[in-house]
Structure 1
Amino acid sequence: MIFIVVKFPVKPEYVDAWPDKVAPFTRATRAEPGNLWFEWSRSLEEPNTYVLVEAFQDDAAEAHVTSEHFSAALKTMRPMVTRTPEIVSTTIEGATGWSRMGELQIDQTPPG
């Protein structure tokens, strides 16, 4: 699995509009074969920063970055960010999705 986290530092005048501006990119990416997830969050410490957490099957990342919607999204985002986004991109061998957190197990069995 290819796991990616990107921090987008958004100009204050665009921060509220960001989710709507990137919505076409989000929808298109989620529909890609091999996309496992594509989720946006907003930083609590830096309210003008959006954090994107995404994952792809190993063979799907190249198709993503060469897609028309990826290219269009870069053009949309470029004037709205204050600097080059920061990224962590890595391959996690053998992973296919989320795992349960071992340190905080919650019993989901209904009482009875």
Structure 2
Amino acid sequence: MSELEEYWFCVVNLLKSSPCRVRVKWSKDFEPSQWEDVVFIPTSRYLETGSLGPLPMREIEWVEVDTIEIQYVGRLVRESRIDHADNLIQVCREKAIKFQQIEQFLRFAYPSP
């Protein structure tokens, strides 16, 4: 497994157990994808979301995670906001996954050579 594949594999595994939404910036698009509930690796060297991909990992500029989970209870009950930033950051540091924090978002980007 290449370093590129290993990096994205670690990121995807981190996000599998997280209820946070993600979006992807693909090098062939001007804008990032819409916010989605899932990102996964369908096959070696590719990344996919619910509506985007599969995309070659080498063409992924970044994957961004909204660390605030919004839970809707019902019309008469105010939504609940749960911040998962501390937990995600702790796991990233433990596993040496490089990321950048931008306000409530964590951005994962494979370092350019």
After TM superposition, is the score higher than 0.5?
no
Q: TM-score, normalised by structure 2?
A: 0.38
More strand by share: 2
Q: TM-score, normalised by structure 1?
A: 0.38
More helix by share: 1
Considering Cα pairs closer than 8 Å and 6+ residues apart, tell me whether 1 or 2 has the greater RCO: 1
